[in-house]
Amino acid sequence: MGDAATPYARMVAMNAIISASELVSELAGENPPVLLDVRWQLSVAKAAGGPPFDGRAEYAAGHIPGAVFVDLDRELASAAGPRGRHPLPDVAEFGAAMRRAGVSASVPVVVYDGGQGWAAARAWWLLRWTGHPDVRVLDGGLPTWEGPLQSSVPGPALAEGDFRPMPGPAGLLDADAAAALARSGVLFDARAGERYRGEVEPIDRVGGHIPGAVSAPTNENVGPDGRFLPAEELGARFKALGAGDGSEVGVYCGSGVSGAHEVLALAVAGIPAALYVGSWSEWSSDPSRPVAVGPDPQ
């Protein structure tokens, strides 16, 4: 595990995020990246049976030229159920969706969303976990883009990609592995502190956290403009919370979306981490699993 000041950490940071100005330059280069627009928002209304946020309508109203819309709920997750609100998608179906979007193994990919970064990070994590070697998130999302926007949608002329997902042996936790990691290493809870403490729970069956997990809200990894804090600051934050000294690190959140954003922040800091995709929505759905409340991990 690298310290945030090492050349390795700087390389990881370079390969995890990209600025809007860097993206402009790369789009004009010899091997421009495929652009994926993954606008999505956590919708309490949807969880209560109401209409979800319509990212496709946002995309149609204006997107970075050439970007292809990817639906988080349908293409980056399978149907909600006992495995959580955003369980892993079927790998074959995910690969087909990425090929339809033009993703190829030899072409870099840049993912963005409306600025929060959670949905873009989910796409980044899935593509990296399934073997794509060059995926980055637009730091700060669409609000940082100062170029023109396009409202037309790529049609049948869009060339299909050749990406074939090959999930790696590491980087993914199930419920049992997350519980074990909370005892043997560092398991971060990326949700808001009040949900971790069990004071409120607007979506899932019960509030609280996995026993032994450490509260590390993902919104504390970014500045007021939505961009990530510098790698050195992120490294210092995670080290103070117990990571960065050789310990194995994992992350969970509500449903494996904001947790992916924390895994991305850890990558910027040079700290590899695994994701418990089922997260609290899976853990809390089983009444037999233990629940801790209050500010302390135990």
Chain segment 181-203, per-residue pLDDT in tens = 999 999 999 999 999 999 999 98
Percent of the chain with pLDDT over 90: 83
The pLDDT tens digits of the residues spanning 206-248 come to 999 999 999 999 999 999 999 999 999 999 999 999 997 788 9
CB neighbour list of residue 227: distance below 8 Å, 6 or more residues apart: 139, 140, 144
> Active site residue: 253, 264, 268, 275, which one?
253
* Angle CA 6–8–9, to nearest 5: 70
45 confidence band (pLDDT: 50, 70, 90): very low
pLDDT confidence of residue 50:
62
pLDDT confidence of residue 48:
52
Which residues lie across from 14 on neighbouring strands?
Answer: none
Dist. CA 82–CA 247, nearest whole Å = 30
Dist. CA 10–CA 174, nearest whole Å = 30
CATH 3.40.250.10 domain residues, the chain:
7-144, 172-283
Architecture of the domain made up of 7-144:
3-Layer(aba) Sandwich (3.40)
Architecture of the domain made up of 172-283:
3-Layer(aba) Sandwich (3.40)
Q: Which of 54-63, 154-163, 193-202 has the lowest mean pLDDT?
A: 154-163
Amino acid letter, 191: R
State the pTM of this model: 0.92
Is 272 known to be catalytic?
A: no
pLDDT confidence of residue 53:
74
